[in-house]
Amino acid sequence: MIFSGQEYWSGLSCPPPEDLPNPGTEAMSLTSPALADNLREGAEQKVVFITGRVHPGETPSSFVCQGIIDFLISQHPIARVLREHLVFKIAPMLNPDGVYLGNYRCSLMGFDLNRHWLDPSPWAHPTLHGVKQLIIQMYNDPKTSLEFYIDIHAHSTMMNGFMYGNIFEDEERFQRQAVFPKLLCQNAEDFSYSSTSFNRDAVKAGTGRRFLGGLLDHTSYCYTLEVSFYSYTIGGTTAAVPYTEEAYMKLGRNVARTFLDYYRLNAMVEKVAIPMPRLRPGAEPEASGEMRPAGDTESLAYRRCSAADLINITV
């Protein structure tokens, strides 16, 4: 028997919510123990919220996110300063069921989660619903300032790393939104500010960047960070340099470092010299300015902090 498309779909039934797997998503908070103690006592907190892998097939997103996490929990002097001033909340994988199933863009239920930020369902989009509720909870907390939201993606046709931002009627807010991408362009040779764009595309209304850009106040900045699946160019050359896992993670480290530059401009972090790890003989600074001894993957700059520096929560 041959069914029309309409007859086929009308004959399908959805299982009850209790019969659906609900893997949940992990969110972590990275900060210093001293700042964590102050927060428990009701002190004000500045939060940077980062999400990744909402589209399962965009695997570079995970490597960039891993680079951010590895740097923030390292003993690098810049990472120490960032932890002393900021709380980083990171949800590395918004679509774990889609990743597990090997989907390219959709979740287990067949939804593109990055089009459902406006009204996510706890049944159909549980991870998105949980993260959104957490963000709204922080937004409504008078002692919490959600400074940044960055959603990490991978792009199949563009080269380099670049960002999408929002358009605001407030010209000053619009200009200030361009500061972080410009600073990142100075820190990361593979990041292109010329490919960065700011828009109000109606098709993207349900994305995290667009929804949160409209929800949060003028002190918050929301971006989509894109990175090429394939390659990047350096310094205006046309030669394509293929991305590697290490290159993706290096971009993540440079994203984390850029927060220090941003908050120095805003005078939240004092403009004092930050002691850098001493280089061993034969070692050279990386192009990004990171001092990493050649062949030494467990150097001071990348040695991880103790568990006391991490506060894990589940959304």
CB 154 within 8 A of CB 245: no
Helix 77-85 to helix 60-72 angle (10° resolution) is: 90
DSSP 8-state class, residue 167: -
Residue in the structure block whose two tokens are 């287990």:
108
CA 136 to chain centre: 17
- State how far the alpha carbon of 155 is from the alpha carbons of 8, 116, 152, 173, 187, in Å: 34, 20, 10, 27, 21
For 84, the 3-state DSSP assignment is: helix
CB 207 within 8 A of CB 114: yes
For 149, the 3-state DSSP assignment is: strand
Q: Give the residue numbers annotated as catalytic, written as ranges.
A: 226
Length of the chain: 315
CB 269 within 8 A of CB 81: yes
For 124, the 3-state DSSP assignment is: coil
Rounded to the nearest 10°, the torsion over CA 115, 117, 120, 125 is: 60
Strands 310-314 and 26-30, by their bridges, are: antiparallel
CA dist 4 and 69 (Å) reads 49
CA dist 183 and 204 (Å) reads 25
DSSP 8-state class, residue 189: T
CB 73 within 8 A of CB 46: no
CB 40 within 8 A of CB 32: no
